[in-house]
Structure formats: C-alpha cells, structure tokens
Amino acid sequence: MGTLIKSPLSKLPFSIITISICAFAFIALLYTERISFLSSTTIFTLSPCAKRSLAKPKDKSADNDEVNYFADDRFEFDPNECSVTSGKWRFNSSIEPLYTDRSCPYLDRQVSCVKNGRPDSDYRHWEWQPDDCYLPRFDPKIALEKLRGKRLMFVGDSLQRGQWQSFVCLVEFIIPADQKSMRRGRVHSTFRAKEYNATIEFYWAPFLVESNSDLKIVGDPKQRILKVDSVTKHAKQWLGVDILVFNTYVWWMSGLKIKSLWGSFANGENGYEELDASVSYRIGLKTWANWVDTTIDTNKTRVFFTTMSPTHQRSADWNNKGGIKCYNETKPVMKKRHWGTGSDKRIMKVVADVVGKMKVPVSLINITQLSEYRIDAHASVYTETGGKLLTDEQKADPLHNADCIHWCLPGVPDTWNQIFFAHL
C-alpha cells in the first residue's frame, strides 16, 4: 500500500511534491472555508504556569505568612519562570475532555472528528506537561468569572476559529440553556453568557491585514493581493474589546510569493510587489503592531498572540517514510524538540522581533512546539469538504483529502486554551 502510493511521486523532484501537496492542502482548506467561514489560527505562547514546587498542597501551617505567600503565588503567570514550550505529552487514559463533539452544540463539522467517524480515541487522552512548572487544568467557572462583564475576541483564521470554538465548548456546559446564546456570522460570531454579561467572539481576518480574499475567499493563491499596510477596516471591529487574541500564519504559506500592496497607487491593485512570504509577513505584522501600539489602552485591554499552528503535510519530517501526511497517525512524536517543515522558523522570528519591539505588552501563547509533536491530532479524513462529509472514496485518498492543518475538537486547541487560561 505504501509503495503503491509512493511510486508515482517518488520520481518527482521533492520541491514539486512539496508544492503540489501544499496546493492540495490549500485548495482543500479554502474550499472548506468558503462553506464554513474558515479561520486558521496559530498560537505560540509562553505558557503561564506556576512552579511545580509551588503547586504542592497547602500544609497545616498554611496560616503562616510565608506559606500563604507561596500558596497564593501558585497560579501566577511568570514567563521568565516557566516556558510552556518545553515539556512533554503524557498519556493518561483517565483524562476525559470537558466536552465531546456531541455534547457541545457549537462545533463545526470540520473539526467534529468522532461524529465524522474517527475510530481511535487515544489522541484525546494526552496532557501537556511543561518541564519546569505545573500547568493548571482549565476551570470553566474560574474562566467565566474572569470574563465577567467583559468581551473576549479571537481574531484570525480558521485555526483561531478552532481555538474560539474550543474555548466556548470548555465553558458553555456550565451555563443553563436560557442564559446563553450564539450568533454565527460570516465574519463575526458571538457567544454570549448572559448571567456573566460576557461574550466570547470570533472575528475572521485570516491575514489580520486587509486582502482581496477576506470576505469572499479567492481560491487561487496567485490571485490574492494583500494590503500589507491596511488594517483599520478590520480593526474598527476590535475596538472596545477587553481581551484580544490574534493569530495569522497558514494563509501566508501557500509557497508562492505574496502580492503585496501598500501606499496608494493610481493603477489600483496592479501596483503590488511580489515579496517572499516572510518579508510580506513582517510588513503586515508591523502594520498590526502599529495599530495595537497607537490604539490600545493597556489599562482597558489585554492583547494575546497565538503563534503558528504547525501543519503536518510531510510524514518524512517524523521519519514515517511510507506515511501519507498525518493520515493514520495515532501517537504524538516523542522526540524532544521535534520540528517539522510545517512550522516556518523565519515567520517565528518575525513574530518574536515585531512583538518584542512593541510598546503594548503582548502575551505570546507559544503553541508551536507543543503542537508540533501532535501529528496524531489533526482532522485528517474525518472532516468535511464543500459542506459534506468525505465519502468513503475520498477517505481512501488521503493524499488529496486528509486535512493535516486543522485539529480535531476536543483536542490540541483545548491545550492552547489551557495555556491562555493560565495567562488570564
């Protein structure tokens, strides 16, 4: 089976294989988005965690000031103390996700893997364990209390939409039916928790900056033009939000140069320049950073940025020579610091550079490394295309149809939110 599938490709130069696989992935991704407002999000974060030694149960002498100091310090986030990026996935069969794709009514079919027929379940029982600290479990009551009277908005692409849906599902089940509501829109969706006077929103802006492919997706990446110096049309909708969580990555990674437009050109969209993705990304991200720095009142608004969500399109990255992308993978990569071709180091550096120079403090949710290990957790063939579940025939052709970009829910984005929660 492996050789059968490999043979037609093995004669092609590697770059062609990569590009065509990227193109498949992209077309599949975009097609899905047109139907269900895809947003892809990546999150790189320094994880908020407390030192493991501080997480010990309070002892009987807890009324002693010093002990109280440590006890209270338990969940305090200190990025200098503990990085969530370094750690390991630990299997624990008694861990159950807080929701399922049947219990939570707000999940898109795109990510509802169990409903869509995924037979294996181990991927739901791994827990991220940072090396230097204890990552608190997600607590829906505490999370909602922190959001009381506030607006939380996730902004970005379909991966960010996955994180938003994960967050909604992680809290919604403790709210009575008449105390919550969901309004889905093509660009802007709002989940409302009435008794908390809180909203958990999603805003679709796959590049953060404006493009000709925001509202009406342009399927052919060659036809997309990015206005790398324009963000205000989207950003108007971000005003007044208390907690903003941004991402942008996968849409820049078509493998082509990015048609980038800035300034005003008399000849309209023909004034673009074709730039390498990382160069264009830098300009676009700086535009976003300038908006944040000049607009955000740090007394009112907190800003987060989720780093790249890795894609797993190339099984050779994890030495599975006969594999087809992430198809049929059921275990995480265990090799420490594994890094594949689906996470672009240049983009990571741009994020570090740009965010590092901002005036407004932005908390990075650095999810890239921990997600890199999870080749087993993508939607794969248990997803939809064009609004319909994959047929058996399509499932039998994972090279073209497996989605190794988006993640099953419940799944890895719940861990991103666990980290985000620890920062809140």
Ligand X SMILES: *[C@@H]1O[C@H](CO)[C@@H](O)[C@H](O)[C@H]1NC(C)=O
Q: How far apart are CA 130 and CA 55, in angstroms?
A: 13
Q: CB nearer to ligand X: give 149 or 263.
A: 149
Q: Is 83 assigned a catalytic role?
A: no
State yes or no: residue 8 binds ligand X (CB under 6 A). no
State yes or no: residue 63 binds ligand X (CB under 6 A). no
- Both tokens of 59, joined, read 């002892």
State yes or no: residue 149 binds ligand X (CB under 6 A). yes
Q: Is 378 assigned a catalytic role?
A: no
Stretch that binds ligand X, among 58-66, 147-155, 169-177, 280-288 (CB under 6 A): 147-155
Whole-angstrom Cα Rg for the chain: 21
State yes or no: residue 351 binds ligand X (CB under 6 A). yes
Stretch that binds ligand X, among 15-23, 149-157, 405-413, 416-424 (CB under 6 A): 149-157
Q: Residue 255: what residue type?
A: G
Q: If you write DSSP's letter for every residue of 182-224 in order, what string do you get?
A: EE--SSEEEEEEGGGTEEEEEEE-TTSSEETTSSS--SSGGG-
Q: If you write DSSP's letter for every residue of 18-63 in order, what string do you get?
A: HHHHHHHHHHHHHHHHHHH---B---EEPPP-EEGGGGSPP-TTTT
In the shown chain, the binding pattern of residues 105 to 144 toward ligand X, with x for contact by CB under 6 A and - for none, equals ----------------------------------------
State yes or no: residue 94 binds ligand X (CB under 6 A). yes
Q: How far apart are CA 416 and CA 205, in angstroms?
A: 20
In the shown chain, the binding pattern of residues 327 to 346 toward ligand X, with x for contact by CB under 6 A and - for none, equals -x------------------
State yes or no: residue 423 binds ligand X (CB under 6 A). no
DSSP secondary structure code for residue 157 in this structure: B
Query: Of 401, 15, 300, whose CA–CA distance to 392 is shortest?
Result: 401
Residue in this structure with the two tokens 């509202």, named with its chain if needed: 215
Show contacts with ligand X in window 239-278 (CB under 6 A).
none
- Both tokens of 346, joined, read 């240049």
Q: Residues 50, 51, 52, CA angle at the centre, nearest 5°?
A: 110
Stretch that binds ligand X, among 54-62, 146-154, 282-290, 309-317 (CB under 6 A): 146-154
Q: CB nearer to ligand X: give 256 or 412.
A: 412
- The residue within the footprint of ligand X, chosen from 1, 177, 239, 266 (CB under 6 A), is 1
Q: Which residue is nearest to ligand X (CB)?
A: 369
Q: CB nearer to ligand X: give 307 or 385.
A: 307
Spot the catalytic one: 112, 158, 254, 315. 158
Q: CB nearer to ligand X: give 87 or 411.
A: 87
- The residue within the footprint of ligand X, chosen from 63, 297, 392, 393 (CB under 6 A), is 297
State yes or no: residue 396 binds ligand X (CB under 6 A). no
Beta strands in 63-219 (DSSP E): 87-91, 126-130, 133-134, 151-156, 180-183, 188-193, 198-204, 210-211
Show contacts with ligand X in window 185-204 (CB under 6 A).
197
Q: How far is the CB of 259 from ligand X (least distance, A)?
A: 26
- Both tokens of 339, joined, read 């890094």
Q: How far apart are CA 322 and CA 159, in angstroms?
A: 28
Q: Is 40 assigned a catalytic role?
A: no
Q: How far is the CB of 388 from ligand X (least distance, A)?
A: 22
Inter-residue contact 92 to 127 (CB < 8 Å):
yes
Query: Of 171, 204, 46, 166, whose CA–CA distance to 412 is shortest?
Result: 166
In the shown chain, the binding pattern of residues 360 to 379 toward ligand X, with x for contact by CB under 6 A and - for none, equals ----x-x-xx----------
Number of CB atoms found within 10 A of residue 178's CB: 8
State yes or no: residue 3 binds ligand X (CB under 6 A). no
Q: Which residues are catalytic?
A: 158, 403, 406
Q: Which residues bind ligand X (CB under 6 A)?
A: 1, 44, 85, 92, 94-95, 149-151, 197, 297, 299, 307, 324, 328, 348, 351-352, 364, 366, 368-369
